[in-house]
Amino acid sequence: MTRAAVFGTGSWGTAYAAVLADGGTPVTMWGRRQAMVDQINAGSNEDYLPGIRLPEGIRATTDPVEAAADADIVVLAVPSQTLRANLAEWAHALPRRAAIVSLMKGVELGTTKRMSEVIAEAGGIEPGRIVVVSGPNLAKEIAQKQPAASVIACIDERIAEMVAEASNPPYFRPYTSGDVIGVELGGAVKNVIALAVGMAEGLGMGDNSKASIITRGLAETSRLGMKLGADPVTFSGLAGVGDLIATCMSPLSRNRTFGLNLGKGMTVDEVVAVTRQTAEGVKSCESILQLAHDHGVSVPIIEQVAAVVHDGRSPKEVVGALMLRALKNEAE
């Protein structure tokens, strides 16, 4: 029988543990805090998924070795910017042949590395067993068992298939892919575009404005992805436009909500103070912008989001800057 470990007891780590357990795969979760581990062992995670009863088949521990022992699949669900430090502590505990699955949707600050690259480097894991999961998967809806689809990517598609088979309860439909770069980038960049859409909403803009940002945001994602070697088809799929729509439209999105608060006039520090969960785009806008600059790719929306979040420009100012850009062909 396939066994799994999930490192990280936040919203998505816990919801994905439920996906695995409901799919018939027993899961041991690793959590930092004993109180959280005790709660999960008693059948819920009230801090992150209040009111949700977790399925049988999930248990938790604070010991990484115990969590990963005998696991065929080890799922990592921590903030992107802490992953490298976390792996330094966990690498010794990871079974040599297990598939290592990233749920993260971010790009590392400083190195501009995608999470699969950080896992390979900091965890010493061969790329052929590194898997990424990304798609329109708001954790709360998945935990409520609302039907959704996703993409599970690995350069070795047999490993992606093994993880997909273990993650297939009746409400979760995973598609496999070999395009790790495209699937990861789609997930990371959509968070930055959702910040922009949230800002537009907060400024009182309507659906034309938001659809324009979403569509041009997809153009930026595809341009960058293709330059980095992604398959363009990925961006019209679940990990591209699918996740972009879910995140930019949903009040459940932490990134969209963060942008909304900025658009309403709160400062970045004020929004950080009221945001309890990980809004990856806030940090990743800077690393993704750096990645685009390093590869000579034009990403004007991402540039303006970074100007608000890191340079203190106002959302209203940056909308003006975007609208006054020189005219060009849509396909460029």
Ligand X SMILES: NC(=O)c1ccc[n+]([C@@H]2O[C@H](COP(=O)([O-])OP(=O)(O)OC[C@H]3O[C@@H](n4cnc5c(N)ncnc54)[C@H](O)[C@@H]3O)[C@@H](O)[C@H]2O)c1
Chain residues that interact with ligand G3P, rule: CB under 6 A: 105, 136-138, 191, 194, 243, 246-247, 253-255
Determine, following the binding rule CB under 6 A, whether residue 63 of this chain makes contact with ligand X.
Answer: no
- Residues pairing with 172 in the sheet: 148
Helix (H, G, I), strand (E, B) or coil at 113: coil
CB of 113 to ligand X, least distance (A): 14
Q: Are strands 148-153 and 130-134 parallel, antiparallel or unpaired?
A: antiparallel
C-beta closer to ligand G3P: residue 49 or 93 = 49
Among 4, 5, 6, 12, binds ligand X (CB under 6 A): 12
Cβ–Cβ under 8 Å, residues 172 and 80: no
Among 80, 222, 234, 261, binds ligand X (CB under 6 A): 80
Residue type, 108: E
Q: What is the DSSP letter of 80?
A: G
- Residue 44 to residue 47: CA distance in whole angstroms: 9
- Residue 180 to residue 101: CA distance in whole angstroms: 11
CB of 33 to ligand X, least distance (A): 7
Determine, following the binding rule CB under 6 A, whether residue 28 of this chain makes contact with ligand X.
Answer: no
> Binds 82, which of ligand X, ligand G3P, none (CB < 5 to 8 A, cut-off by type)?
ligand X
- Residues of the binding site for sn-glycerol 3-phosphate: 105, 135, 190, 243, 253-255
Distances (CA, A) of 235 to 100, 201, 274, 327: 23, 24, 32, 24
Determine, following the binding rule CB under 6 A, whether residue 105 of this chain makes contact with ligand X.
Answer: yes
Determine, following the binding rule CB under 6 A, whether residue 77 of this chain makes contact with ligand X.
Answer: yes
Cβ–Cβ under 8 Å, residues 222 and 172: no
The H or E element containing residue 320 is helix 315-323
Among 26, 55, 57, 79, binds ligand X (CB under 6 A): 79
Number of amino acids touching ligand X (CB under 6 A): 24
C-beta closer to ligand G3P: residue 223 or 254 = 254
The H or E element containing residue 5 is strand 4-7
Structure tokens at 144: 């409520």
Determine, following the binding rule CB under 6 A, whether residue 284 of this chain makes contact with ligand X.
Answer: no
Distances (CA, A) of 300 to 20, 240, 247, 268: 39, 18, 20, 20
- Residues of the binding site: 11-12, 32-33, 48, 105, 135, 139, 190, 243, 253-255, 280
Determine, following the binding rule CB under 6 A, whether residue 25 of this chain makes contact with ligand X.
Answer: no
* 190 belongs to the catalytic site: yes
C-beta closer to ligand X: residue 282 or 319 = 282
> Binds 243, which of ligand X, ligand G3P, none (CB < 5 to 8 A, cut-off by type)?
ligand G3P
CB of 100 to ligand X, least distance (A): 15
Distances (CA, A) of 22 to 54, 67, 104, 195: 9, 19, 21, 33
- Residue 133 to residue 45: CA distance in whole angstroms: 22
* Pick from 156, 139, 167, 181: nearest CA to 45: 139
Among 39, 222, 234, 278, binds ligand X (CB under 6 A): 278
DSSP string of 123-148?
A: H---GGGEEEEESS--HHHHHTT--E
CB of 48 to ligand X, least distance (A): 5
CB of 218 to ligand X, least distance (A): 18
> Binds 242, which of ligand X, ligand G3P, none (CB < 5 to 8 A, cut-off by type)?
none
Determine, following the binding rule CB under 6 A, whether residue 48 of this chain makes contact with ligand X.
Answer: yes
Instruction: Please identify which of the residues 113, 145, 190, 316 carries the catalytic annotation.
Output: 190
Q: Show which residues are catalytic.
A: 190
Residues lying near ligand X in the complex (CB under 6 A): 8-13, 32, 48, 77-80, 82, 86, 103-106, 137-139, 277-278, 280
